[in-house]
């Protein structure tokens, strides 16, 4: 573990923009989360704000309030939100400066880098803390080309693919890894986003800030490394975006280059347009259409997991029943029901138990 | 036009590795090609080595021989080969140094950058020439996110997609642009590789050295810019790799994000495995399979163009006839037959003439 961390969401904790914070509240092996900085939810518990489950992570209105009221010391301040375009919101700069002054290194997964902000760089230098730009692209010499070594991996690989971005793929991947581990399996997860790294992921890379030529090779390298070092029973592969998302279609890298012979498909029963593509002629496909497309890429969809941000338990249940009947695979709502039924499907179809 | 250029292929002119040189020999509006440097083909004409057509581009064994024997002066030396991994072959360094000494700026499309070689950087400084690393990634602040502005483009967009990489997509795109222009159409081509830029492409970007998050946006931005500035009758979109290539699957960015409602599919009748994936379980699909997949991404394949590197005219003809019957669209071999029949199909199906 790297140390104690506070997470900055400044008023956005209950929005989809705070997905980095949400992941960290749900669990991370890289940091011990000792507080959230969000003036809107001051005094509440972050777990309760997220999904009603108390997690003993207090929310403070400011870095100063954290320092005053908490018995813990923070080694890091993590920027807990993703913004459109990856820009660092101007109103966050003061929070960052305050954190640097109390000795926090800053962790950011934004496209706009901390190290490009002279005032922050200078202050960090004076206070002897680090600026960690997680999304900073690696130069090509540190990246891998695909070379076919994926062929030697005998561990089954399950991709968690979504019908759109920002739907819960990472959370589902993590739930599956944890549930399989609880049952005694040596389960691993390949992270492909900045939050996955912040949650302690050992194998993976940051998909969207990688030069395109190396995407397939980085997927392969992460899986092969995990296979060689961990001797896993199963590997989950966190997907990104969606196969037909106009904003940035992707997914074949996982299915073909990463040889994910099995897929769990994450879906939002309500969303019609791809996020950020409202009004564009391409709409989110049906589950059946997406499963058929995934099959073309040689992967079998063995379960569907649904995002329940916009539906209640009853609506979720009715969607599940209807689709389970039509598709003949388990359809579950991880945040309501957990993922036990998906784990059963994995045991049966993937591990052949 | 930027100026006179010599192209370095050092012994590889007749191989697939020299595809950059091949493109430049076929035509470029950025440079006036005044010679090829290749000791193996010294004294021959580069066009004749390429495809039997004389183009008055002499081949010299060395930079010194060019300087001695040619009446032209070169402003640039272009590295005319692509290497596995994008490395700069050690044996090319001496040629580069010689060229710098006679006042040439160096143009490279390799992943390994000239500017990372201190001895070359120093020599270039002394001789006051430039080092142009075409594939150097742009920082995120110079790149574009997809924003849906593609919707306003009323010009039909035709993607040239391949069933594998290194098959002639760029050459076909260029042939189509030229043939349409000859018929009086205001035809444009969006380049997506380094050779396309070297050939004078005004709109486009280098796909494989772009951060993944911006691929869809760069495709869109190039098309929208071309549409706004040129008022074109038709836009051809140079594809990259192939939809199911394990080495780096791609293509949906053109079809969905770039709204290419029509596709010309480039295919090699002989190749079975994806290049560099020999022995891997995923093989190159049939034309029918690929056309069906392209249709899922809302694009209609209106013609097939075939690579004839490994087949003679008779074999090409028999492949063409058989597939034309089965697919009911024109199947042509551009290097044998030209692209007139594809142009006719475009006039009929795309321009509805």
* Interface A-B: count of C-beta contacts within 8 A: 129
Supply the pLDDT for residue B163: 98
Q: Does the CA dihedral B336-B339-B345-B348 come out positive or negative?
A: negative
Shortest Cα distance, chain A CAs vs residue B41, angstroms: 32
Residue range A146-170, pLDDT digits in tens: 999 999 999 999 999 999 999 999 9
Residue B345 confidence (pLDDT) above 90: yes
Q: Which of B145, B211, B249 sits opposite A85 (nearest CB)?
A: B145
Q: Which residue's entry shows tokens 């969207």?
A: A208
B281 shares contact with chain A (CB less than 8 Å): yes
Q: How far apart (Å, rounded) are the C-alpha atoms in residues A197 and A136?
A: 13
A282 shares contact with chain B (CB less than 8 Å): yes
B202 shares contact with chain A (CB less than 8 Å): no
Mean pLDDT of A12-36: 96
Q: Which of B151, B211, B277 sits opposite A210 (nearest CB)?
A: B211
Contact A211 B277 (CB under 8 A): no
Confidence bin at B140 (pLDDT 50/70/90): confident
Residue range A229-274, pLDDT digits in tens: 999 999 999 999 999 999 999 999 999 999 999 999 999 999 999 9
pTM above 0.80, yes or no: yes
Supply the pLDDT for residue B159: 98
The alpha helices in B63-102, defined as continuous H runs, are 63-69, 93-101
Q: What is the mean pLDDT of chain B?
A: 96
Q: Which of A137, A245, A257 sits opposite B137 (nearest CB)?
A: A137
Q: Tell me whether residue A228 is exposed, middle or buried, using C-beta atoms within 10 angstroms of its C-beta: 0 to 12, 13 to 18, 19 or more.
A: exposed
CATH 3.40.50.720 domain residues, chain B? 3-133
Q: How far apart (Å, rounded) are the C-alpha atoms in residues A104 and B280?
A: 48
Supply the pLDDT for residue B353: 86
Shortest Cα distance, chain A CAs vs residue B194, angstroms: 13
Three-state DSSP state, A36: strand
Residue A353 confidence (pLDDT) above 90: no
Residue B108 confidence (pLDDT) above 90: yes
Chain B residues with beta carbon closer than 8 angstroms to that of A279: 148, 151
* CA A179 vs CA A85, A172, A187, B113, B157: distances in Å: 34, 10, 9, 46, 47
| A135 Cβ neighbours under 8 A, 6+ residues apart | A86, A108, A109, A110, A111, A113, A194, A206, A208, A209
Shortest Cα distance, chain A CAs vs residue B218, angstroms: 10
Contact A281 B151 (CB under 8 A): yes
Give the pairing of strands B3-8 and B31-37: parallel
Residue A140 confidence (pLDDT) above 90: no
Instruction: Express as a percent the part of chain A with pLDDT over 90.
Output: 95
Supply the pLDDT for residue A85: 79
Chain A residues with beta carbon closer than 8 angstroms to that of B137: 137, 211
Q: How many other CB atoms are there within 10 angstroms of residue B127's CB atom?
A: 15
**Most A-contacting residue of B146, B217, B248, B290 (CB-CB within 10 A), to test interface:** B248
**Most B-contacting residue of A146, A207, A210, A212 (CB-CB within 10 A), to test interface:** A212
Q: Starting from the edge strand earliest in sequence, which strands make up the sheet with A262-267, in order?
A: A203-204, A187-191, A234-238, A157-162, A262-267, A300-306, A331-332
Residue range A279-337, pLDDT digits in tens: 898 999 999 999 999 999 999 999 999 999 999 999 999 999 999 999 999 999 999 99
CATH 3.40.50.300 domain residues, chain B? 142-350
Q: How far apart (Å, rounded) are the C-alpha atoms in residues A263 and A302?
A: 6
Confidence bin at B141 (pLDDT 50/70/90): confident
Q: How far apart (Å, rounded) are the C-alpha atoms in residues B77 and B93?
A: 12
Instruction: Express as a percent the part of chain B with pLDDT over 70.
Output: 100
| A230 Cβ neighbours under 8 A, 6+ residues apart | A186, A188
- Nearest CA-CA partner of B338 in B163, B183, B158, B199: B183
B86 shares contact with chain A (CB less than 8 Å): yes
Residue A40 confidence (pLDDT) above 90: yes
Q: How far apart (Å, rounded) are the C-alpha atoms in residues A180 and A344?
A: 10
- Nearest CA-CA partner of A267 in A254, A281, A285: A285
Contact A256 B277 (CB under 8 A): no
Chain A residues with beta carbon closer than 8 angstroms to that of B207: 212
CATH number at A3-133: 3.40.50.720
Residue range B67-99, pLDDT digits in tens: 999 999 999 999 999 888 788 999 999 999 999
A210 shares contact with chain B (CB less than 8 Å): yes
Instruction: Express as a percent the part of chain B with pLDDT over 90.
Output: 96
* Tokens of residue B336, six digits: 């044998």
B280 shares contact with chain A (CB less than 8 Å): yes
Chain B residues with beta carbon closer than 8 angstroms to that of A215: 212, 248
Show contacts of B268-273: CB within 8 Å, 24+ apart: B268/B163, B268/B164, B268/B167, B268/B306, B268/B307, B268/B309, B268/B310, B269/B306, B269/B307, B269/B310, B269/B311, B269/B315, B269/B316, B269/B319, B270/B310, B270/B311, B271/B164, B271/B167, B271/B310
Supply the pLDDT for residue B137: 94
Q: Starting from the edge strand earliest in sequence, which strands make up the sheet with A31-37, in order?
A: A59-60, A31-37, A3-8, A76-79, A105-108, A131-133
* Tokens of residue B247, six digits: 């080495």
Supply the pLDDT for residue B83: 86
| B190 Cβ neighbours under 8 A, 6+ residues apart | B201, B203, B204, B219, B222, B223, B226, B235, B236, B237, B238, B258
* Tokens of residue A285, six digits: 């496909």
B143 shares contact with chain A (CB less than 8 Å): no
Residue range B294-323, pLDDT digits in tens: 999 999 999 999 999 999 999 999 999 999
Crossing angle of the two packed helices B287-296 and B313-327, in degrees rounded to 10:
50
Q: Which of B148, B243, B279 sits opposite A277 (nearest CB)?
A: B148
Distance of CA B245 to the CA centre of its chain: 18
Judge contact between A161 and A266, C-beta under 8 A.
yes
Supply the pLDDT for residue B279: 85
Judge contact between B287 and B327, C-beta under 8 A.
yes
Number of H helices, E strands in chain A: 13, 13
Please count the CA atoms within 13 angstroms of the CA of B73 that sit on its side-chain side.
8
Distance of CA B69 to the CA centre of its chain: 30
Supply the pLDDT for residue A205: 98
Angle at B342 between CA B338 and CA B344, to 5 degrees: 110
Instruction: Express as a percent the part of chain A with pLDDT over 70.
Output: 100
Residue range A54-88, pLDDT digits in tens: 999 999 999 999 999 999 999 999 999 988 878 89
The secondary structure element, H or E, covering residue A6 is strand A3-8
* Tokens of residue A270, six digits: 């309500």
Q: Which residue's entry shows tokens 């760029």?
A: B170
Q: What is the mean pLDDT of chain A?
A: 96
Radius of gyration in angstroms for the set of CA atoms belonging to chain A, rounded to a whole number: 20
Residue range B193-248, pLDDT digits in tens: 999 999 999 999 999 999 999 999 999 999 999 999 999 999 999 999 999 999 99
Supply the pLDDT for residue A61: 97
* CA A172 vs CA A26, A166, A191, A343: distances in Å: 11, 12, 12, 11
Backbone phi, psi, residue A142, to 5°: -95, 0
Shortest Cα distance, chain B CAs vs residue A173, angstroms: 21
Q: How far apart (Å, rounded) are the C-alpha atoms in residues A44 and A55?
A: 11
Q: How far apart (Å, rounded) are the C-alpha atoms in residues B93 and B49?
A: 24
> Domain B142-350 belongs to what topology?
Rossmann fold (3.40.50)
């Amino acid at each position: 573990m790297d140390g104690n961390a506070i997470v900055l969401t400044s008023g956005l904790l209950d929005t989809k923009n705070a997905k980095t914070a949400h992941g960290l509240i749900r669990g991370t092996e890289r940091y011990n989360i000792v507080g959230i900085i969000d003036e809107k939810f001051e005094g509440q518990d972050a777990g309760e704000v997220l999904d009603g489950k108390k997690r003993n992570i207090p929310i403070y209105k400011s870095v100063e309030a954290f320092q005053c009221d908490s018995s813990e010391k923070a080694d890091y301040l993590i920027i807990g939100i993703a913004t459109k375009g990856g820009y660092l919101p101007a109103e966050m700069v003061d929070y960052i400066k305050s954190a640097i002054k109390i000795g926090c290194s800053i962790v950011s997964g934004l496209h706009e880098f901390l190290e490009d902000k002279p005032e922050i760089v200078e202050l960090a230098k004076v206070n002897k803390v680090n600026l960690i730009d997680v999304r900073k692209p690696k130069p090509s010499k540190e990246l891998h080309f695909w070379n076919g070594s994926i062929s030697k991996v005998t561990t089954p690989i399950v991709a968690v693919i979504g019908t759109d971005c920002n739907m819960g793929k990472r959370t589902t991947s993590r739930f599956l890894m944890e549930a399989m581990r609880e049952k005694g399996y040596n389960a691993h997860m390949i992270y492909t986003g900045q939050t996955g790294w912040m949650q302690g992921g050992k194998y993976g890379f940051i998909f969207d800030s990688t030069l395109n030529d190396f995407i397939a090779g980085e997927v392969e390298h992460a899986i092969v490394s995990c296979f060689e070092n961990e001797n896993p029973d199963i590997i989950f592969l966190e997907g990104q975006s969606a196969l037909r998302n106009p904003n940035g279609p992707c997914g074949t890298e996982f299915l073909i280059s990463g040889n994910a012979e099995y897929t769990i498909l994450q879906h939002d029963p309500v969303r019609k347009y791809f996020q950020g593509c409202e009004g564009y002629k391409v709409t989110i496909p049906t589950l059946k259409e997406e499963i058929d497309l995934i099959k073309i890429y040689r992967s079998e969809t063995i379960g569907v997991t649904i995002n329940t941000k916009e539906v209640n338990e009853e609506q979720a249940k009715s969607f599940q029943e209807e689709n389970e009947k039509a598709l003949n695979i388990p359809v579950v709502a991880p945040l309501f029901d957990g993922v036990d039924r998906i784990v059963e499907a994995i045991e049966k179809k993937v591990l052949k138990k």
